[in-house]
Amino acid sequence: MAFSTYSTASSDISTPRSASPSASIVSARSSHSSVSSKRLSLSLQRRQSALNPMSSVDIAAIEEQMKMAALDGLRGYAQNHYGEIQQYRSTDYVPQSAACGYQVLREPLWNKGLSFTPDERVSKNLTGLIPHAMESVETQVARCMRVINTRQTNIDKYLYLSSLKDQNVDLFYRVLIDNVRELMPLVYTPTIGDVCLQYSTLYTRPEALYISIKQRRSIRTILRNWPYPDPEICVVTDGSRILGLGDLGVNGVGISIGKLALYTGAAGIHPGKTLPIVLDCGTNNESNLKDPFYLGLRARRPSPAVAQEFMDEFMEAVADVYPNMVVQFEDFETEKAFAYLARYRNKYKCFNDDIQGTGAVVLAGYIGAVNLSGVPLEEQRLVFMGAGSAGVGVAKQMVEYYTRRGLSEQAAKEKFWLVDTKGLVTTDRGDKLAEHKKYFARSDNNGHQFRTLEEVIEYVRPSALVGLTATFGVFTESVVRALKASVDAGGSGRRPILFPLSNPLTKAECTFEQAVQWTDGTVIFASGSPFSPFAVKAGDHAVTYWPNQGNNVYVFPGIGLGAILAKVSKITDEMVYIAAASLAESLNAEEIHKGLIYPHIERVRDASVVVAREVMKAARREGVSTLPEEQWIEWEEWGDVALTKYIKGKIYDPFKEKCSL
């Protein structure tokens, strides 16, 4: 029958009005048949389900549970018994003076690659083990940069640099120092965040000390196993709050490794005197616990009391084994960060970069920003988005800035409004405030609660907005324009201060381009991670706006270097504050002319020398330097020139004694 044939290729589209009666009958029969088929299918499924009792069981969930059980090698064992490791022999290392052949080439601190002289090649039995060529340092650095530029991703570039460091430390640091603007984001933030997320997968060789809470009775033994004698500074983390990425467990060791690379690259602390450490207390990160490649303790974190005991044992062991070593705490979760700093700062030579270093570098930028803003000191009001360890640490540093300018502590504190995820931090908000937040909790809000950042800005009318939230985009256009409006209301010629400081870039509160556009180019900007300059066309020419990076690298290397050289017994608040003040004064004429508030990153070593010098002088004034009295008398006679020369003479500068070929 003709009507039973239907071509889908036809351009005629059937509609309810155009459908023929015959077509409708066929459609009705087809529909009835389809319904009958569905009923039959459902009936069949029910019968099959009745015959198969496993049909209602979530097989995938059971398989996941079995997988987790297989990964849990500690299940059923007591978790509060700890043995002590007994090593029966010491490690005998060949001294550098006696090493030859591959003993030299396979020790990264001794290997000089193609910079070995003919005499060294003969005396060290290297003939034939390396190419019969001598190259200048510049050529070797250029080769390395060519390789880096062929890598497609930042992780690949990081892995190449890590491999280079594992083979030739001098060349690695020469490459880093000579190309610091390009390579620092690879060695540290933002790339190091991605490295930490993937550390267990990327792992090929040990680069640190891994101290497990399961071996807490053997911390001294583990410390003594470090192959390089008498380290002068360590960076220690428990991985509980890595950047803005949360609890990464043992994967957080990448932050200790990266940080110490900057102590060397930015301040010249010898790489053989640095010690990265991770305290493996387990992790509450479900992804890590489920990851078959995870290298850490596959257990949840212990109670705060047990973690505190472990930390006490660690600090005691460090002071016993390496009494001259400075300890820098890194990326502990907020409550522990404040508690550990308060507990140990007067007993051991230690500091917390998240609290004190971040505070100092932001304060240094703020000092410069206030000078450029046109807003008088007495009219400055600051809103902080983020009330964690970094936010509170920064705000406290700024309180000291105001007290040193004549304000009482209470008057200085009243210049700050802190905002967290629940809104403005107030004493009557109704929730239990964390201890570190209470210092800045407002009591002058007359019972009114401000739940959003926009509401707080409208209420406070701030001159500065600081972000430490680890939340990308929280500084929206409406927020930034409201900040500008509140500054403009004070009079002409005033500029808003905007510091989105969270790392890495994926956590930045806003971008530099957004800040420029939303403030019509008037913003004084500093970020935690690097942004590129931004050009805006104005008629026949373009105006270039220069970002500032408020990176801790401007401060913590200088604090560490100054503490080491001054042989301090502890690191005081005065030393940290002076680090900030001296950084603010370290800009040169060109940087000031560009409206910058930090030195160019290429001058980070110059800034570190200034910071270290002023930290040493502060240590002397505070009575915590244990250097011989006669040494200080000499410097006090000859001043900064003599002390600066001393510091530069102690700085590691690879190949500095090598002449270019």
Catalytic positions, please?
188, 259
Q: Strands of 42-136 (E only): list them.
A: none
**Measured between alpha carbons, how far is 14 from 30 in angstroms, rounded to an integer?**
16
Structure tokens at 137: 């340092």
Q: Which helix (H) or strand (E) holds 183?
A: helix 180-187
Structure tokens at 226: 């470090």
For tokens 């990851």, name the residue. Answer: 291
Residues 6+ positions from 337 with CB-CB distance below 8 Å: 241, 329, 352, 354, 355, 389
Phi, psi of 101 (to 5 degrees): 60, -135
Of the candidates 137, 133, 129, the one whose C-alpha atom is nearest the C-alpha of residue 660 is 137
CA distances from 148 to 87, 90, 364, 502 (A): 42, 40, 33, 27
**Measured between alpha carbons, how far is 119 from 116 in angstroms, rounded to an integer?**
8
Of the candidates 442, 437, 441, 487, the one whose C-alpha atom is nearest the C-alpha of residue 464 is 487
CA angle 123, 264, 615 (to 5 degrees): 130
Helix (H, G, I), strand (E, B) or coil at 421: coil
- Do the Cβ atoms of 130 and 169 come closer than 8 Å? no
Single-letter residue type at 440: F
- Do the Cβ atoms of 188 and 271 come closer than 8 Å? no
Single-letter residue type at 581: A
